[in-house]
Amino acid sequence: MRAKTLIWVSLLFGVAFIGISLPGVLAVPDEIAKGNYAVLLVLLFPLVGIGALVLFVYSLIAWRKFGRTEIILDPVPGSIGGDFGGYVDLGIRWHPDLEMNVTLDCQHLRTTGSRKNRSTKTSVTWQRQGIAAVSPTPAGGLRCEFRFDIPDKLPQSASASRDYHRWLLQLECDLPGVDFKRSFVVPVFRTPVPQRSSLNVAYVKDSAPLKQAPDNIVRIHESGQGLEFYYPWYRHLWMGTITTVVGSAFVIAGYGVGKQSGDIVFPIAFGGMGGVCALIGLYVLGNTLTTTVSSQGIRIEHTIFGVRFQRKAAREEISKLERRIGSQMQTGYSMRVYYAIDAHTRDGRRITVADSLEGSRLADFVEAKIRDALWPEKKQSNDSLELVMD
């Protein structure tokens, strides 16, 4: 059970990071007196340890509040080209405004190196978000039901190895006090005949489409030229700020270590990595995107710290729209996925018409708006969107 595992893992990491870093922390005052400011990097370890202990306390409270959560699948297992569905019964009091967010990920895990140099990278191949169907139970709790339509091209679950795919289901609900969050590794396989769920609930994709995009991510309005999508510079303020600050700290630390030791290899490697990180953060903070879509075509205006770049394509030049995963970030077991939407032209150009769309629900909403403005006579369904695996 992931919820219970998280309690012990966070406790172990918290104690380990604080314990290992304690001698270095105690030595910080003496090292600073000697002018060795690079030793301040040691303070990162107890900060990580404190964060892990905070997570331990939060997870322990959540476990005591919600207890063990069992998922019942229908069908068993989930079926590639068919359905993944199921339900969970929870001891949460039902009320009409309660929303249970549900996310299903197909994840690719790849391990490189060995022993101390061993590392595992997790990336999302496919993701679908939505709102589960929630109803009261006779016991005074609630039942949460969900059903996903799984595309035929996706990989199936596999045993853990150095290179494999797994499927992860996540349930989240905002509640007074501690929020409900659970994640499950679930079986999804390719069956001889695609299986469908017997649950009488709508597909998650269609159950709760967005009615409006968040203004801090994209502002959509009609203009004299067509439907305008404006993506402000602060759409990912937190991510850009953190990336810039951390990258700058690495550059400063690399410079300090090089100045103290006279070595250039470590400062170049450490500072160079930090410099790239800082530049990425500055790019995130310093760019805006304006896309104007009409039945005549698409016009793009990309501004980076005041420097403008423009691209456009007439409707007859556009062969298709294609969604792709532009970037992703792991936070614990969860993956924050950011989508981009590209217009492909018949002469081989690829024009990004939307970016930084967090989650499939927002990507669905924006993609549908673009399609309807570009091809108003077709009113194509989101189901025709081509799947791209990165």
| Residue-by-residue DSSP string for 247-301 | HHHHHHHHHHHHHHH--SHHHHHHHHHHHHHHHHHHHHHHEEEEEEEETTEEEEE
Q: For residue range 84-112, what is the model confidence (pLDDT) as tens digits?
A: 999 999 888 888 889 999 999 999 999 99
Q: Decide: 385 and 323 in contact? Cβ < 8 Å.
A: yes
Phi, psi for 262 (deg, rounded to 5): 80, 0
**Rounded to whole angstroms, how far apart are CA atoms 10 and 52?**
5
Tokens at 121, concatenated: 């990278």
Residue entry with tokens 């060995």: 114
Q: For residue range 274-314, what is the model confidence (pLDDT) as tens digits?
A: 899 999 999 889 999 999 999 999 999 999 998 999 999 99
Tokens at 39, concatenated: 């030793």
Sign of CA dihedral 257, 259, 263, 268: positive
Give me the half-sphere count of Cα atoms (radius 13 Å) on the Cβ side of residue 84: 30
Model's pTM, two decimal places?
0.76
Among candidates 324, 383, 338, which has minimal Cα distance to 205? 383
Phi, psi for 56 (deg, rounded to 5): -60, -50
Lowest mean pLDDT among 120-124, 163-167, 242-246, 251-255: 251-255
Q: Decide: 244 and 281 in contact? Cβ < 8 Å.
A: yes
Tokens at 151, concatenated: 């595309």
What is the predicted pLDDT for the residue at 77? 94
For the cut 60, the answer to whether the pLDDT of residue 389 exceeds it is: no
Among candidates 156, 157, 124, which has minimal Cα distance to 324? 124
Overall residue count recorded for the chain in this entry: 390
CB atoms within 10 A of CB 331: 7
Q: For residue range 334-373, what is the model confidence (pLDDT) as tens digits?
A: 788 999 999 999 999 999 999 889 999 999 999 999 999 9
Cis? peptide before 138, omega within 30° of 0 = no
Among candidates 201, 92, 81, which has minimal Cα distance to 151? 81
Alpha-helical runs (H) found in 287-376 = 360-374
| Strand bridging mode 287-294 / 226-231 | antiparallel
